[in-house]
Amino acid sequence: MRDVRTSDPCVGTYKYLQTNFICLPASKLHVFKGVKLRVIFVYGAYYGRRNRRTCSEGRPQSQVENVNCINPAQRVPQRCNGRHFCSIEASNSVFGDPCYGTYKYLEVAYVCICKFFYVSISQI
């Protein structure tokens, strides 16, 4: 998968990325986009644990202390890219168990892009 973040469309202009996340008790990722001309483009997906704070409320310390627990989640872009809707279960049975005993979460970075733009970048 080509990393679209490496090019600079506006040299000399300050840029930033603002993200938000929520922790859901459900074990499935659902992404909806109502506009038919826009599709999902996943540019990063990881299953595991990268820090002690994310999705840790109510978990014992022993389940959140291993922060070097990560698996690239290639199934997410394979299943979601180019679609209007995507659903994938966040579980060890889908992504494997990168570290037994650690409470894991699925982290997905995606954008909704013009369908025609997706077709052109997927052919690169």
User: Each residue of 84-117: pLDDT tens digit?
Assistant: 888 888 899 999 998 999 999 998 888 888 776 6
CA distance 15 to 3: 17
Instruction: Express each pLDDT in 28-57 by its tens digit.
Output: 555 554 556 778 888 889 999 999 998 899
56-71: per-residue pLDDT in tens? 999 999 999 999 998 8
CA 22 centroid distance within chain: 12
Residue, of 33 and 9, whose pLDDT is higher? 9
Residue 39 burial (CB < 10 Å; 0-12/13-18/19+)? buried
Lookup: tokens for 114? 């013009």
Predicted pLDDT at 60: 96
**Rounded distance, CA 38 to CA 35, Å?**
6
Q: Is residue 2 over pLDDT 50?
A: no
What residues does each domain of the chain span? 36-122
Phi-psi region of 62 (alpha: psi -120 to 50; beta: other; left: phi over 0): alpha
Domain 36-122 CATH assignment equals 2.60.40.1180: no
Which pTM was predicted? Answer: 0.65
Q: What does the pLDDT look like over 108-122, one tens digit per residue?
A: 888 888 776 655 555
